[in-house]
Amino acid sequence: MRLLALTLALLLACHSVWACGEVPAQARVVEGAQFRLVVLAMPAPIPLNAPFALDIRLCNARMAELPRLAAVDATMPAHRHGMNYKPTLTKLDWGHYRAEGLLLHMSGEWEFVFDFAGAPQRERLSFRINAR
């Protein structure tokens, strides 16, 4: 039983190092109050008028329970509208998600928004990009 617990702890520690340590150069890192969000577009950079996916990882320094990623969306604040498609969100592993079916149909500034559930306090993280 102790061997199983030790193996699980090592696996979780390795997962945390990847998500929180060395981050791919193209990834976006957003610091929240309770955890860090690491987002990698596939393909990178994000294409205009073509579908893409986001690889999303959450981590925190305490290895505590992470909140659940409830929704991913992108909007154009200047135009007050969002994407024409709703992305699908899949949980792949502990703190690891994939959002697929995103498509930025106009050039300009887009804001990606990530909503979380199950945190002690509701948390929403975001970042902006200029799509060309």
Confidence of residue 20 (pLDDT cuts 50, 70, 90): low
Above 50 in pLDDT, residue 12?
A: no
* CATH number, domain 2-131: 2.60.40.1930
Amino acid identity, position 78: A
pLDDT, the chain, mean = 84
DSSP letters spanning 31-89: E-SS-EEEEEEESSSPPSSS-EEEEEEEE-TT-PPPPEEEEEEEEETTTTEE-SSPPEE
Give the C-alpha separation, 70 to 39, whole Å. 15
pLDDT at 17 over 60: no
Predicted TM-score (pTM) of the model is 0.81
Quick: pLDDT tens for 53-109. Answer: 999 999 887 656 788 999 999 999 999 999 998 999 999 998 999 999 999 999 999
